[in-house]
Every structure is written in structure tokens, then in C-alpha cells.
Amino acid sequence: MIKYLFAKEKNIPGGTAAIFFSFSAIMWFIIGTGIGSFNAAKLAFPDWFTHSYALQFGHMRQVHVHAVIFGWIAGAFAASAMYVVPALGNTKLWSEKLGVWNCLLWNVGLALGLATLWFGMTSGREYSDFIWPIDIYIALCMVLPLFINIFMSIVTRRTQGIYTTNWFFAGSFFMLIIVFLIGNLPEFFHLTGLNEAYMTWWFAHNVLGLLITPVAAAITYYIVPKVTGNPLYSHRVGHLHFWSIVVFYSTPAAHHLMSSPLPEWLKSFASVEGVLILVPAVAYVCNILLTMQGKWAMFVENVEIKYTITGVLLAIPLNMQGGFQQTRAINWYVHGTGWIVAHAHLALLGFSTFAEAAAVYYGVQTLLRRKLYSLSLANFHFWMLLIGFSLYWVSMTIAGLIQGAGKIYEVPYMDIVIAEHPYMIVRWLGGTMVFLGNIVWLWNMYMTVKQGEKLAPGVQPQDVAYAR
């Protein structure tokens, strides 16, 4: 990387920044899920590892959440956008040099931020736990350079229209800047009480709704038509998806605080809007699944399609849960329980992660012009991720229902802890499978760089059979 930081733009090969972001994202996925597994072990075996101040659960939980969201998810987004946006515009990334610097500053900034959380420096606001100096660094050195590079790559494109994927990338990164600046205002203006709580969840909700969800969708709008060779089923439905996300997803933040003393009209409004999120969800899932017509064999045979379509299928329970769990009738039961933790992982470790993994698998091959080193290792990774995630989601959903019942029927706390204990162990096992699968993934990608079969000019990875 060092040699490219000070190289002339013309001497930096196309795709360099995307490759660096891909491998840094995989590294953070390993680090973040490893910390997740450590935290889960502390919840499954509470007497384990209690002597360390820095490794206490309160610190490590924040470190986990930010490592996986900023390092893996957002890092994989940056990697995907940096090769997909230029490819769709039939051009090169606006600046590989800016991209390489962006990647370096991204990793330095994240490591610094996590160190502050590790040592207890936090805003105390969930999902925006970083203290304000780190927030400013993220805005100026991580998000803004990425947005400029992507936006200028679209402006300098050599194609007529803008394909659905690039709408989503540009729109989401633009909205992220607004969400990030407004969402962190409470810290600058020392807001407290209900105002701070509402702004905290407005930020968390919109990071999920206006960045993670649309960008993961953007990736699938590229991978499925690109790898299957089928045209997207409907561009109009793609536009309906985009605008209905902006309208219905940006407004119902109050549904995270249904048990709080927010005005009842605001909670009713959020609840209705929350159900209307099903409009973009149904439009999206139908559009992608109908694009697969006649190519369903690839769901079994092709690595990228297997990951992508699994992610899309997980979006179905995700949005069904999301639509109904935030209504008053259900929320009072599941709020604050493991059900919500399960739901968060369905969104992040389920839907979003499978789409990003597909984009990284495809990106590394197309940019390096090398075929994937091993199909069996990729399948091993796939099943460790899917089985691990499923164990996580099912066990935490059941634990959540036990906690909800305990809360409602005023069961003594210790009885709830004893009843949910087996599920805490299953969650730890499931999450650890995800962590171990990621290590195998890194090896397979490293071997692809070293020994992957070279692709002839103009040949796509999906046109060549897997070597092993």
C-alpha cells in the first residue's frame, strides 16, 4: 500500500483501492466476530474472564458493534462501490490515489476509535458510541473522501443513464453524510433526556435504513444480473424501491422507543410508517427473485449467486419481523430482550453480510483477473456463516421470548437467567462458527491472489469452471 500512497495516479492499477478495502473488510470481519464470540462467551459463562478492566463486557460490546459495522459492513460497502460504480459507468474510479488514502485513513481512524471505546471513552449513545473527535475524523477522513470518489466516478461516467445500483450507492452515501452530521448533534449541544434518546435512535435507525439496507440492495442489483446474464426484471420497481425507502424508512425512528414517554401521536405515526417499510421490501425481494428466472441452478452452483440470493431470502423474515415487532401489540413484549439482538443480527449478519460477501468474492476475482482458488473452501465458509448465523438467530429469538415472558409475568430474574442459559451457549457456538468460517475465507482469498487461475481478457469469473 505504501508505494501507492505517493505514486502518480496513472501508475496505480485500476481496482487497487477496492482490493485494499476488500481485504481490510475481511480482516475487520474476523476481528469483529472474534470479539463478538468473546462477548458471547462472557454472557454464556459469566464467571469467565472477569479480572480485566479493558475487556469488560460494557466496553467490548461497543468495540464489537463498531468493529463489525465500520470495519466489515461499511468497509465492504466502500470496496464494492469502488469497483461496481466505475464498471457500471464504463469508466475508472475517479481517483485510485484518493481511494488508497481513504483506505489507510479508514483503518487508522477505526483502530483509534476502537481504542478509545476499549478504554472507556464513549458518548454512551448506542450505535454512535464514539466521542465527538472521532466522529469528526470519520466524517472528514472516512465518509467524505468515499462520497467524493463515488460521486465523481458517476459524474465522469461514459454511459447515458444511471443504473439502479448507482442510484442507491450515490443516494445512500449522500444521505449518510446528513444522518451522520444531524445524528451526532446531541453530543455537540449536550442534549439530554428524551430529546437525546430520540436523536440517538433516529441516527441508529437511519444508519440501518438509509445506508446498510439500500447499499446491500444496491450490491444485489449488480451481482444478480451481472453473474446470471439476465437483465434486471424491472427498473421501474427499482425506482419504486429507492424512493419508498427514502420516504418510509427515514421517518419511523420512534418505533425504537415505543415504551418511552414520547408523544403517543409520534409513536402511532412511526408504527404506521414502520409497517409501510414493507412496500420497498416486497418491491425489492420480488424484483431480484424475478430476475433469477431460468437461472436458479446458479443458486446451487455459483458462489456469488448463492451468497446473494441467501441474503435476499433473509430479507423476507427480516422485514416481516421489522414490520410487526414495532407495533404496540408486539413491541411491549419483545423490546429490550434478546429478540431485538436476534433481529439486529438478522439484518447485519444475515441479509447485509451475505450480500457484501458476494460482492467481495466477485470483486477480488474480477479486479485481480483471477478465478477463485477453491469452491470447497467457499462452500465451507458459506455453511459456517449460514448455520452459525441461524443458530445465533434462533437461539436469541427463543431467549428473547423467555425474557419477554419473564418480564410480563414478573418471573424472578435469576429464574429467567437460568432458563435462557442454554440459548446463550448456542448463540456463542453459532457466532464462533461464523468467526472460524471467516478465517477460512481470508485464506481462500489470499490463495486466490497467489494461485487463482488467471482469467483471459474479457472472460468473467462466472464463465470459468472452479479449479477445486
Instruction: State the residues that interact with ligand HEM by CB under 6 A.
Output: 33, 36-37, 39-40, 43, 61, 64-65, 68-69, 72-73, 340-341, 344-345, 348-349, 353, 427-428, 431, 434-435
CB of 13 to ligand HEM, least distance (A): 30
CB of 34 to ligand HEM, least distance (A): 8
Task: Please give the backbone phi and psi of residue 454, each rounded to the nearest 5 degrees, phi first.
Answer: -70, 135
Residue number with the shortest CB distance to ligand HEM? 431
Nearer to ligand HEM, 64 or 371 (CB): 64
Nearer to ligand HEM, 37 or 365 (CB): 37
CB of 65 to ligand HEM, least distance (A): 4
Nearer to ligand HEM, 323 or 336 (CB): 336
Nearer to ligand HEM, 140 or 418 (CB): 418
Nearer to ligand HEM, 163 or 441 (CB): 441
Nearer to ligand HEM, 61 or 205 (CB): 61
Nearer to ligand HEM, 66 or 97 (CB): 66
Task: Please give the backbone phi and psi of residue 374, each rounded to the nearest 5 degrees, phi first.
Answer: -140, 125
Nearer to ligand HEM, 56 or 91 (CB): 56
Contact 36, 71 (CB under 8 A): no
